Amino acid sequence: MQQGQSQKPAYAPPPLADLLTEGRVALFLDFDGTLVELASGPDAIAPLPDLGARLKAFAERLGGACALVSGRAISDIESHLGPLAIAAAGSHGSDIRSATRERIGAGPQGLPTAIETELRSFAELEALDYEHNPHGGALHYRKAPEQGPKAHAFAEALAAEHGWAAQSGKCVVELVAPDANKGSAVDRFMADPPFAGARPIFVGDDITDEAGFAACRAAGGAGILVGEKRESAAQYHLPDVASVHHWLEL
C-alpha cells in the first residue's frame, strides 16, 4: 500500500511496551472519543477524575514526547482536566503549547464577526447548538441528527464564501481557518525536541484525526483509529475509549 492510501484498519496495534523497545516513540492523542467518551454536548463529558495526572506520568515515560491534539481549545480541555503539564495543540492544531505552557506559533485565528453572526442565526433558526471557539465556530446536531446534511451544506457554502474551511466531525460541522488541522500540529511538534527523531503515532476517532494519521504515517509512524471501523489512513484499530486507556497503560 502506498503512503497516504486508506483502508479499514483490521489489527490492534502492538503493545506499547514492545514499540518502546524498538526505539523512541512520540504519541499524539485526540481527546473526545479517544481519551474521554463522547457525550450529548461538549460540556457533558466525564473524564477520569485523575486523567490529567495520568497523562503527565505517561508523558514522562516517553521523555516528554506526548501531546494532546484536539479540536477543543486548550482552555476548554483544562476546564475538565485542570492545568495541563504536557504538550498540547488545541483549536484543531492552531494553538500549540509546549509542556511548559510556552506558545508555539502565532495562535488561533478568531472567526470574523460576519461569519459568526450567520452561524448563530442558522443555529437558532434550525434549533441546533452553536459553540464559539477561539479558532472558529461549530454547529452541533447530535440532538437532531436529521439536520446534519442541512448544517453541512450551510457551513460549506459559508466557508467557501469567506475563504475559510468547513471541518466535519461526529454530529458537528465547524468553520476554521484553512491551515488549522491536526496534521500541521504534528509536523510542528516533530520539528523540535522532545519529539524530533521519535516514531510518531496518532490516536484518534474522528474525521478530523485523519490529517494526524497521515502526518504520522508520512514521518514513518502510524495511526490508530478508535471506535467504529471505516476507511482511514490509520493502520491500526482499537474498539473504544477503555481499550485506549488499556493500550496506553494509563
Enumerate the active-site residues.
Answer: 30
The dihedral over CA atoms of 208, 107, 188, 34, expressed in degrees to the nearest 10, equals -30
Q: Which of 208, 203, 189, 193 is nearest to 234 (CA)?
A: 203
Contacts of 39 (CB under 8 A, 6+ apart): 45, 46
Count Cβ atoms within 10 A of the Cβ of residue 24 and give its class: 0-12 exposed, 13-18 middle, 19 or more buried. middle
Place of cell 520539528: 191
Residue environment code for 125-141, b if the CB has 16+ CB neighbours within 10 A, otherwise e: eeebbebebbbbbbbbb
